[in-house]
Amino acid sequence: MIIAERKPLDEIKEMVKDYRKVLNVGCGGCTSICLAGGQKEVMILNRDLKEQLLGEGYSPVLDGFVIERQCNYDFFDELDNMVGGYDAVLSMACGVGVQFMAERYPETPVFPALNTVFCGADRNIGWFEENCRTCGECVLAETGGICPVTRCAKGLFNGPCGGTRLDGTCEVDKDTPCAWYEIYHRLQAQGRLGNILTVKPPRQWQNQTRRSLVQEDYKQRYAG
């Protein structure tokens, strides 16, 4: 899932303060699940923003609305009829949703209310951890299901580096486990150390230009 967090109120206020009628649109997908941009967060942001703007002498009209997902146009029908009535749109989706919204309504200024931070999992309620940098060439098979791209501070493919602390934490942060220390121990326990005994050659990075993807079964459909 995509994990996001709300931008500071001041930053959001600066984006929208000069627009009188603003529609704040939440997303029922990832940002709702990670408690950053769902129904409740739309309400809270509108309340706080209104109070702030009123206090500074503005007289904003701030409405809220949530669609199921902002990363698929199938869910935009209702919005299509609403956006025309506003001077600007604030999106509480991830960066993908914000861009989709901006593309859908090219005449309307669209602003991000969130910072999109990573692809991660729930460690507990409201607690998330980054696990994948979408490198496009997954090596988890060799590394015991622990991602070196994301979880090693240097993204090493032939780790660990010389800085691993004696207690197995990363040189960068004494509260973060060294990914390669964990990879070593997991592979050792599974009798698979052979995976990391040979030199892993430099990789051909797959994520240096914008990617698009059509699944095999649909290639015919979009051809030509």
List residues near another protein by CB under 8 A.
153-168, 171-173, 181, 184-185, 193, 197-202, 205
| Shortest Å distance, C-beta 170 to another protein | 8
- What lies within 8 Å, CB to CB, of 90 at 6+ separation is 12, 15, 16, 22, 23, 24, 25, 45, 110, 111, 112, 113
Nearer to ligand SF4 by Cβ, of 81 and 204: the residue is: 204
Q: How far is the CB of 138 from ligand SF4 (least distance, A)?
A: 3
Query: Smallest distance from the beta carbon of 130 to ligand SF4, in angstroms?
Result: 10
| Rounded (10°) CA dihedral 169, 173, 175, 177 | -30
Q: How far is the CB of 174 from ligand SF4 (least distance, A)?
A: 11
Binds 135: which of another protein, ligand SF4, none (CB < 5-8 Å by kind)? ligand SF4
Instruction: CB nearer to ligand SF4: give 65 or 118.
Output: 118
User: How far, in Å, CA of 135 to CA of 203, rounded?
Assistant: 10
Tell me which of another protein, ligand SF4, none is bound by residue 202, counting a contact when its beta carbon lies within the kind-specific cut-off of 5 to 8 angstroms.
another protein
Q: Which two tokens stand for residue 14?
A: 């600066």
Give the CA distances from residue 54 to residues 40, 66, 90, in Å, rounded to whole numbers and listed in that order: 21, 24, 18
Which one of another protein, ligand SF4, none is in contact with 205 (Cβ closer than 5 to 8 A by kind)? another protein
Q: Which amino acid, 97?
A: G
Among another protein, ligand SF4, none, what binds residue 140 when CB lies within 5 to 8 Å by partner kind? ligand SF4
d(CA 90, CA 98): 8
